[in-house]
């Protein structure tokens, strides 16, 4: 492995993400987790595209080893991969409005993907448009807590990393463009 790929910034960001994955294993309020924040933060701060995807997805996979695998893993992982992509769009311009917008958009995207999958994959709702609407309606309480969790954890991760950068200015360097 090329030593230039493992920079202090990558190590700090990866440590924040792995810590957040461990937070998934402790008891928490339903859907108030750091998962979407892990994806957005990783996409925004890990300069190489493969690392930006690998670290958050690996954190999910590691925590799923302990929590158990389930039939909704594909839509869940797809949702988080798309949130990593959203974070990568903010890569060189991490600002408060983008973080708030990314957090809100990520929450909504995950809600739409996973509840569509619940409707399409499970027998809980009839395979009709009314069944789809019922699936989305029944998930609103979970969306509420997921949205609050995403806003909270994005504030902690992005804000915390900003504060760390104030003490270690070398972490402020922005790599030009994503590399594969």
Domain edges within the chain: 3-171
Residue 20 binned pLDDT confidence (cut-offs 50, 70, 90): confident
pTM score of the predicted model = 0.85
Note the pLDDT of residue 27.
86
Q: How far apart are CA 61 and CA 155, in angstroms?
A: 24
The two tokens of residue 94 are 């991490």
The two tokens of residue 60 are 């999910």
Residue 96 binned pLDDT confidence (cut-offs 50, 70, 90): very high
Residue 174 binned pLDDT confidence (cut-offs 50, 70, 90): low
CA angle, 27 as apex, 21 and 29 as ends, to 5°? 100
Note the pLDDT of residue 3.
58
Please give the class, per CATH, of domain 3-171. mainly alpha
Note the pLDDT of residue 4.
64
pLDDT in tens, 111-127: 999 999 999 999 999 99
Is the pLDDT assigned to residue 21 strictly greater than 80? no
The two tokens of residue 128 are 């009709």
Is the pLDDT assigned to residue 180 strictly greater than 60? no
Note the pLDDT of residue 46.
80
pLDDT in tens, 47-65: 777 878 887 788 788 888 8
Distances (CA, A) of 58 to 83, 86, 143: 15, 18, 24
The two tokens of residue 59 are 């954190």
Residue 78 binned pLDDT confidence (cut-offs 50, 70, 90): very high
Whole-number percent of the chain with pLDDT over 90: 47
Whole-number percent of the chain with pLDDT over 70: 93
Q: Which of 12-16, 54-58, 150-154 is most confident? A: 150-154
The two tokens of residue 37 are 């924040």
Note the pLDDT of residue 61.
86
The SS3 assignment for 48 reads: strand
């Amino acid at each position: 492995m090329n030593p230039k790929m493992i920079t202090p910034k990558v190590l700090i960001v990866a440590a924040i993400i792995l810590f957040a994955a461990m937070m998934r294993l402790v008891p928490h309020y339903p859907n108030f987790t750091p998962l979407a924040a892990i994806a957005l933060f990783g996409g925004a701060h890990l300069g190489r595209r493969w690392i930006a995807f690998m670290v958050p997805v690996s954190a999910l996979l590691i925590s799923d080893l302990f929590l158990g695998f389930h039939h909704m893993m594909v839509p869940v992982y797809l949702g988080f991969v798309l949130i990593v992509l959203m974070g990568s769009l903010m890569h060189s311009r991490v600002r408060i409005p983008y973080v708030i917008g990314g957090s809100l958009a990520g929450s909504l995207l995950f809600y739409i993907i996973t509840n569509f999958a619940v409707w399409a994959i499970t027998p809980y709702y009839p395979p009709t448009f009314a069944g789809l609407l019922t699936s989305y309606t029944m998930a609103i309480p979970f969306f509420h807590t997921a949205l609050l969790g995403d806003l909270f954890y994005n504030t902690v991760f992005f804000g915390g990393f900003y504060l760390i950068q104030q003490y270690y200015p070398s972490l402020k360097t922005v790599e030009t463009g994503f590399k594969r």
